[in-house]
Structure 1
Amino acid sequence: MSAYDDGPDGAHQRPEGLSDTMVQALGSLSSALETTERARGHLYSFHQLTGTADLELDRAVRLLREGGHPEWAEKVQKEILGRNVIPGHWTFQIVEAYNDTYYEPFKELEKAAVDRLAEGRDHLYEAEMKEARRTDGHPAHTARPGTSP
């Protein structure tokens, strides 16, 4: 604990009896979920980029027709425009399946583990790392927002 304030708030202090191993385990579980959040963001990027490309095909089809190549316009329109990205799926269906099958159950399990094993106290591993790395008396190393040396 720092000499100039009283350390992390109660929500970020280890409950009595919670071992180092459990703090590390919950930290790893949380880290894995954070990585899943990033993967989900990339999935949404994939969804939006693919949709943007599909909408741009409307312009390509129009310009191919205007440019005197209706056969190519027809080929793009029939072969690529609105095509499934994997059999039976547009990207929104992939996002929905990921959310329902993997993301939501993972998020619920991580929350249940933190609630049951750490009395709902999240980010204990990071909070303890912050406390160990703080420089006593430094104004940019305070334990909590709104505190000062």
Structure 2
Amino acid sequence: MDEKTVRALGALSKALETTERARGHLYGFHQLTGTADFELGDAVRLLREAGHEEQADRVEREIVGRNVIPGHWTFQIVEAYNSTYYQPFAAVERDVVDEVGGGRGHLLEARLKTIRRTHHHPDHTATPPPSPQNAADDRGSSDGERDRRSSLMLRRALRRPVGTPRARPARR
């Protein structure tokens, strides 16, 4: 796959990841505002216990349960953001990665890993350690051999034409 396409898909994914972070902040805003509203309930109770009925009534009437923007509590803002912006963005990003990148996400990061890691270093392997079910396939292989195989598989995957599925190894 050409470098411009990899960079474009990387930029698109980074934009979605930034949106994920913004969404997390929105959930933080939602949770903090809800917590503050319950804390206001405690303040109202304490004002009453201290004999400040008028001030307690005002806080309760003016602030407790108040909309944060006209007609909306924070959960409604979160829901609107999710349905109006986040979900369509995530769907378009997924479609573009499928159409242009053959369904392979994080191609830019995969290239960077290949370039930046120290080959043959035990903490810089190309792929995660084998799962127990696949460990039998790797018995007798040195870390260097697994590392070379993983690098070769990654290079082949990055060169594979878009839309071409990965060849499945034959079952033994």
TM-score above 0.5, yes or no: yes
Q: Distance in 2 between matches of 1:143 and 1:84?
A: 51
Q: Distance in 2 between matches of 1:96 and 1:136?
A: 46
Report deviation, 1:118: 1.0
Among residues 108, 124, 127, which one is paired with 1:144 in the alignment?
127
- Residue 98 in 1 paired to residue 95 in 2? no
Q: How does 1:45-124 map to 2 (within 5 A)?
A: 45-124=28-107
What SS is found at the alignment partner of 1:88? coil
| Structure 1: 5+ residue stretches without partners | 1-17
Q: Distance in 1 between matches of 2:119 and 2:54?
A: 73
Structure number with greater Rg is 2
Q: TM-score, normalised by structure 1?
A: 0.87
Q: Deviations over 1:67-92 (max 9, x none)?
A: 01000000000000000001111000
- Residue 132 in 1 paired to residue 132 in 2? no
Identical columns (%):
65
| Structure 2: 5+ residue stretches without partners | 131-142, 145-172
- Residue 23 in 1 paired to residue 18 in 2? no
Report deviation, 1:117: 0.5
Q: Deviations over 1:117-146 (max 9, x none)?
A: 111001000000000011121111100001
Q: Distance in 2 between matches of 1:68 and 1:61?
A: 11
Higher relative contact order (CA 8 A, sep 6+): 1
**Which ranges of 4 or more aligned residues in structure 1 deviate by more than 4 Å?**
none
Supply the AA of the counterpart residue of 1:29: L
